[in-house]
Amino acid sequence: MREVFHDTLEDIQSRLVEISELVTEAIEKATKAFATGDVALAEEVIANDETIDNLVLTTDEVAIETLAMQQPVAHDLRVIITALRASASLERMGDLAEHIAQLVRQRYPERAIPKGLKSTFVRMGELDVEVARTLTQLLRTQNLTFATHIRDTDDDIDELHASVYERVLGDSFSGEIPHAIDATLASRYHERFADHAVSVAKKVVYLATGDWSGADDDAAEIEIVE
Amino acid sequence: MREVFHDTLEDIQSRLVEISELVTEAIEKATKAFATGDVALAEEVIANDETIDNLVLTTDEVAIETLAMQQPVAHDLRVIITALRASASLERMGDLAEHIAQLVRQRYPERAIPKGLKSTFVRMGELDVEVARTLTQLLRTQNLTFATHIRDTDDDIDELHASVYERVLGDSFSGEIPHAIDATLASRYHERFADHAVSVAKKVVYLATGDWSGADDDAAEIEIVE
């Protein structure tokens, strides 16, 4: 019985890794589509989000079933609690990659990246991909140095996010209202994607330490002061 | 021992009600400040968000402690699972009310509501307040007709959200880029606030029915097609 139980816990952890890999693939494709205007790639991201949603749903169901049937304690219990909170954040990360892809579809055949902001968004996209890859590593290894790296990268993304606002609101911006709106939403999606990764990373720290007080979700987000 | 346990479950449920009441107060004040430009009221919302965050944190801690010490089953277990997922959504609702208040502060002494959109945002604000009040009722009574009402009201908010985009992107919009950005962000904050309420409502349905498959968070959000 105990062996079956530990297989289940491993199963839950590898499901989270699998979801994180799918989210990584989604953000890679979404940011590439965003940079190039590749609408077929964008459609792929949009179509694949359901796979992520379904995997999140079944992972939650397994976690709840395990809680009910096995009544885990200590570290085993923390695996389940972490899974139940991390899965919701991973699901949102998939949604945010999908939103970036939806911007591509809406603007097609034009590019969704407003003029003058291409290098900023390419960089934000690269950093989001890095965050997602690091998150997969963190979930796989539970090596907490990956959690630190996610936080640091999130800080860099926050800075770029603030710079998009400054740019769009500044005199040098040559775009029209639709471009300003695209930039605002796209930047927010990129920034929120990384916030959710920070949130998952905090749960993995809780898994290792047993201290929930650093695991709650407040303060991941920055206020944009224009 | 069992009596202590049931006191704890009741304590967790009344904490969720209390958090929902604070969130209701936050969105009432934030939307009022947004409509009137009352920066002192906005500051109050911003300052009070910490109270919500702290209450969410302690509720999570009590829920986790109860899982570990009491190993609840069946309905009792669902109370804990619901609390652990609902608290995260309530925390985000508080953040979104805070974001609306931050827009007021950033624009002061100007009004944050762009010209021509006042009645739309006043209505969105009223509906968000209604959603929050209904959510408190749902958490207090677990009467699922309140869950249906929350979903219906969310549909109305989604429609208003779509209409803000149409308006801002249309030829008749007389505002500048900063006004368009304010409208876009404010509308998104109002819409996401209600999405999170739908998400909490789904968890309360799970609490009543034991079926998780309708409780996951996908599909609460609409895609804006411009």
Q: What is the pLDDT of residue A180?
A: 94
Measured CA to CA in angstroms, residue A103 lies from B147, B165, B178 at distances of 31, 13, 20
The per-residue pLDDT for A226 is: 40
Is A61 close to B168, i.e. CB distance below 8 A? no
* Four-residue CA torsion sign, B61, B94, B48, A188: positive
If one counts every other C-beta atom within 10 angstroms of the C-beta of residue A176, the result is 12
Residue of B19, B49, B67 to mutate when probing chain A, most A C-beta within 10 A: B67
| Chain B: residue whose CA lies nearest to A77 | B68
Average pLDDT over residues A138-153: 97
Q: CB B181 to CB A180 under 8 A? A: yes
Task: Give whole-number Cα distances, B154 to B138, B190, B222, in Å.
Answer: 15, 10, 10
Q: Give me the tens of pLDDT residue by residue for chain B, a chain 226 residues long.
A: 566 678 899 999 999 999 999 999 999 999 999 999 999 999 999 999 999 999 999 999 999 999 999 989 999 999 999 999 999 999 999 999 999 999 999 988 888 888 889 999 999 999 999 999 999 999 999 999 999 999 999 999 999 999 999 999 998 898 999 999 999 999 999 999 999 999 999 999 999 999 898 887 754 565 554 4
Report whether pLDDT(A225) > 50: no
Stronger pLDDT, A212 or B2, i.e. the higher one:
A212
* Closest residue of chain A to B199, computed from CA coordinates: A88
Residue in A59, A177, A200, A224 to test binding to B, most B beta-carbons within 10 Å: A177
CB contact under 8 A, A216 and B57: yes
CA nearest A71 in B: which residue? B71
pLDDT above 60: residue A90 = yes
Report residue A73 as tokens.
């304690």
For residue B88, give the nearest of A85, A181, A212 by CB distance.
Answer: A85
Q: Record the tokens describing residue A71, joined without a space.
A: 């009544």
CB B144 within 8 Å of CB B208 = yes
Q: Residue A196: pLDDT band by 50, 70, 90 thresholds? A: very high
DSSP string, A112-163: SSPTT-HHHHHHHHHHHHHHHHHHHHHHHH--THHHHHHHHHHHHHHHHHHH
Angle at B134 between CA B132 and CA B140, to 5 degrees: 105
| CA B29 – CA B41 distance, rounded (Å) | 6
**Distance between CA B49 and CA A219 in Å, rounded?**
11
Longest dimension (CA), chain A: 68
> How confident is the prediction for chain A on average, in pLDDT?
92
Chain A residues near any Cβ of chain B (below 8 Å)? 49, 53, 56-57, 60-61, 64, 67-68, 71, 73-74, 77, 81, 84-85, 88, 91-92, 95, 99, 102, 106, 165, 168-169, 173, 177-178, 180-181, 184-185, 188, 212-213, 216-219, 221, 223, 225-226
Closest Cα in chain B, distance from residue A202 (Å): 13
Nearest CA in chain A to B46: A223
Residue A165: list chain B partners with CB under 8 A: 181
Position B26 scores a pLDDT of: 98
Residue of A nearest to B104 (CA): A225
Q: How far is CA B11 from CA A85, B17, B67, B79, B164, in A?
A: 21, 10, 14, 11, 41
pLDDT, residue B225, reads 45
pLDDT at residue B221 in the model: 61
Compute the distance between CA of residue B82 and CA of residue B89 in angstroms, rounded to an integer.
Answer: 11
In order of start, what are the domains of chain B with their CATH numbers?
2-214 (1.20.58.220)
Tens of pLDDT, residues A52-72: 999 999 999 999 999 999 989
pLDDT at A112: 83
Q: Give chain A positions within 8 Å (CB) of B101.
A: none
Q: What is the pLDDT confidence band of residue A214, given thresholds at 50, 70 and 90? A: confident
CA dist A155 and A138 (Å) reads: 18
Mean pLDDT of A122-148: 97
Mutation site, B216, B221, B222, B224, interface A, largest A CB count within 10 A: B216
CB-based contact B135:B150 (threshold 8 Å) = yes
Q: What percent of chain A has pLDDT over 70?
A: 94
Q: What is the pLDDT of residue B171?
A: 87
* Cβ distance of B223 and A102 shorter than 8 Å: yes
Instruction: Specify the range with the lowest mean pLDDT, choosing from A102-106, A163-167, A211-215, B155-159.
Output: A211-215
Q: Is A73 left (phi over 0), alpha (psi -120 to 50) or beta?
A: beta
What is the four-CA torsion angle of A53, A59, A64, A69, rounded to 10 degrees?
Answer: 150
Say how many C-beta atoms besides its own lie within 10 A of residue A213's C-beta: 11
Contact A177, B169 (CB under 8 A): yes
pLDDT at A4: 67
Q: In this structure, what token pair is assigned to residue A138?
A: 């963190």
Mean per-residue pLDDT for A132-141? 98
Nearest-CA neighbor of A23 among A1, A3, A51, A58?
A51
Whether ipTM tops 0.95, in short, is no
Query: Which of B67, B177, B217 lies at the smallest CB-CB distance from A88?
Result: B217
**Is A64 close to B88, i.e. CB distance below 8 A?**
no
Which positions in chain B touch A188 (Cβ < 8 Å)? 185, 188
Does the distance separating the beta carbons of A81 and B64 come in below 8 Å? yes
The answer to whether B31 touches B129, Cβ cutoff 8 Å, is: yes
Among the partner residues B67, B177, B216, nearest to A180 by beta-carbon distance: B177
CA distances in angstroms from B91 to A93, A146, A167, B24, B135, listed in the order given: 18, 26, 31, 12, 14
The pLDDT value recorded for residue A171 is 87
**Chain A contact set for B196 (CB, 8 A):** none
Taking 60 as the threshold, does the pLDDT of residue A106 lie above it? Answer: yes
| Mean per-residue pLDDT, A159-163 | 97
